[in-house]
Structure 1
Amino acid sequence: MRCLAIAVAAACLSQTVTGASASEDRYRLEKKDGGYVRMDTQTGAMSLCEERSGQLVCKLAADERDAYQSQIEQLQGSLKTLEDRVTALEKGRVAVPAPGLPSEEEFEKGMGYMERFFRRFMGIVKDFEQEENKPGQNQPADPNKT
C-alpha cells in the first residue's frame, strides 16, 4: 500500500514538472552586450531585456514595436469610424435600410422607371381609344341588319 502511494505521488510530481518545463521552454534567452535577447518560440517575437534591481525587464525590438504601432493606429481609426457611426445612428441622422431592401436612391430610380412606363402605356391606351371612337371607322357590322 505504501509503495502504491509513493508511485502515485511520483507520477503526479513528474507531470507537474513536465507541465512547468513545457511553459518555460516557450522563451529562449541569449546573453548580449548589456543585457539579453528573449525570443518567443511560439510567435517568433523578440524582446530586448536588461536586468534591473534583480528583475529581468524586457521591451519589444524597434521593428516589431513599429509594426504593432501601425496596427494599433489602424485599429484606432476603425474604432473611431465605428464610434462616429454609432453616435449618428443613436441620434437618428443616418437611415439604416433593412437587409435586402433597396437604398433610397435605388428606390427613387426604380420609381422613375415605373412612372415613365405607366405614362407611356397610358398614352398608348388613349391613342387606341381615340382610334376606336372615330366616327365611321372600325364600326362592327350590326348583326340585326340583313
Structure 2
Amino acid sequence: MMLVLGVVLLPAVALAQQPAPPAASNSAALPAGTQPRYSFTPVEGGALKLDVETGKVSFCSKGDTGYACLAVPDSRDAYEAEIGRLQAQLAARGPAAKADTGNSLVVPLPNQSDFDAALDYATRLYQRLRAVINGTAP
C-alpha cells in the first residue's frame, strides 16, 4: 500500500516542482530598439513609477477605489522656483542692486601696540604655566 501511494504521489510532486514557462514580458510587445516609457520599482506599500522621458517619479499604491499614482514632490522644482523668484526680485531692484555686494565689513590691520599687547599676554601666560609646572605658583 505504501509503495502504491509513493508511486502515485511522486510524479505529482515532481510536476508541481517544475518551473513555470517564462511569461511574455511587456517589452517583447515593443518594437526592436525601443524601451518602455515607465519603469516600476517595488517599495513598501506600493511601487515607484519613473517616467524615463521626463524623470518624474510617482508613488503608486492600492487605495479604497483601486490603484492610484500620486506625483512625488521634486525638491529640484522648488529650488528652481525659489531661484526664479530671487532673480526676479533682483531684476526689480535695478542694476545698482547687482553691483552692491553688501560686504561693508572693514577690519583694521593691527598696529605695533596690538602686537606688543599680544606678546605681553603670551609672556605672562608662559610664565604662569612654568610656575605651575615647577610648583612655585601662588
Give the TM-score normalised by the residue count of structure 2: 0.29
Structure 1 or 2, whichever has the larger Rg, is 1
Whichever structure has more helix as a proportion of its residues is 1
